[in-house]
Structure 1
């Protein structure tokens, strides 16, 4: 049985199954990337809920794993060389899990780099821009009379959707016929933009037929349905 006692985070979130990948997360767009990937890959894991309402993400135990105080983060007890590996940043974790399993990423070098470019597209563009738009459209931004910040992010979100929509023409998934970590990176954020953030009309989402088509296929996958609710809300 793996010994994870060297990781302070396990004091706050004890591992009942220390031989499994330990996932510290919450069902946000970045968080569900990893739960979906783990469900798709069938890798054994144990989820731990990092509750923002009690500031778990700023606790010393969590910061010992991710000094940037963001979810998700993992500990893999069977990392490279059979040694435990701790990782944060959802994009890095996606790549790691895909390469560990040999799935959800092309095995040829060119295909691998194409997958990585779309993961980076999400991390550098879609995530930050959609997130800022959500802030100004749904949350504190409503207190600003000046709508230029909101409109700036809405314009950039619309541009990014246009890039994705054009790319998806004639393709089943981002990389073509093969479902991959590129889809897992991108579509939780698209779902959040038009769902939780309620920004579909603001960005003209009805114009992006290809994005709609692939989003619809994505959210119907059984592993995605399961992963979107992990870690689950506490009972009661």
Structure 2
């Protein structure tokens, strides 16, 4: 039996199956990235819901595994050398799971770094910029009389979509014919942009047909359909 009792997070979210990878998350775009990867790889895992409405992410237990108070985080009881490993940051987790399973990351060294660069494109650009647009377009920021902040993020979101549109012009997925961690990182955010953030019109999403095509392909994968509701909201 794997013993995870040394991890404070397990005091708040006890592991019923400590031999499985433990996922602490919420089905936001960053959470969906990792739940998608877990569903795609078939790794046994146990999901735990981190509720933002009760500030679970600010508790000492969660901060012990994710000091930046962001979801998702994992504990792998069978980490490197057979020892448990805790990780936060969705991009780092995707790379780790790809390396652990040998799946969804190119094996050719040059192509591997190319995939990682597109993963970083999401981490440094798509996620933060789409998130800011969501704030200024849908949430409290929409009440600001000065629309320059909103328009700044609209323009940057369009630019990022344009980068993706060009990349996907002659490709089934970001890396070509192979579906990778780059797609798992980018397309939950595109879905959120045109869905939850209700920004389809303001970013003129019809101007990006290749992005729309690949988003549709992403959302038809049964693994993705399941991942969109993991962990289930209580």
TM-score, normalisation: structure 1: 0.99
Partner of 2:50: 50
Counterpart secondary structure, 1:54: coil
**1:131-210 to 2 correspondence within 5 Å?**
131-210=131-210
Runs of 4+ deviating beyond 6 Å: none
Counterpart secondary structure, 1:48: strand
CA distance in 2, matches of 1:228, 1:89: 18
CA shift, 1:88, in A, is 0.1
Task: Summarize deviations over 1:112-139 as a string: whole Å, max 9, x none.
Answer: 0011000000000000000000000010
CA distance in 2, matches of 1:107, 1:3: 33
CA shift, 1:108, in A, is 1.0
CA distance in 2, matches of 1:93, 1:67: 15
Please list every run of 5 or more consecutive structure 1 residues that lacks an aligned counterpart in the other structure.
none
CA contact (8 A) 2:98 2:105 kept: yes
Partner of 1:100: 100
CA shift, 1:177, in A, is 0.2
Partner of 1:31: 31
Partner of 1:75: 75
Count of residue pairs brought into register by the alignment: 234
Partner of 2:5: 5
Task: Summarize deviations over 1:155-201 as a string: whole Å, max 9, x none.
Answer: 00000000000010110000000000000000000000000000011
CA distance in 2, matches of 1:169, 1:205: 15
CA distance in 2, matches of 1:166, 1:154: 18
Partner of 2:215: 215
CA distance in 1, matches of 2:143, 2:204: 23
Counterpart secondary structure, 2:86: strand
Please list every run of 5 or more consecutive structure 2 residues that lacks an aligned counterpart in the other structure.
none
CA shift, 1:215, in A, is 0.2
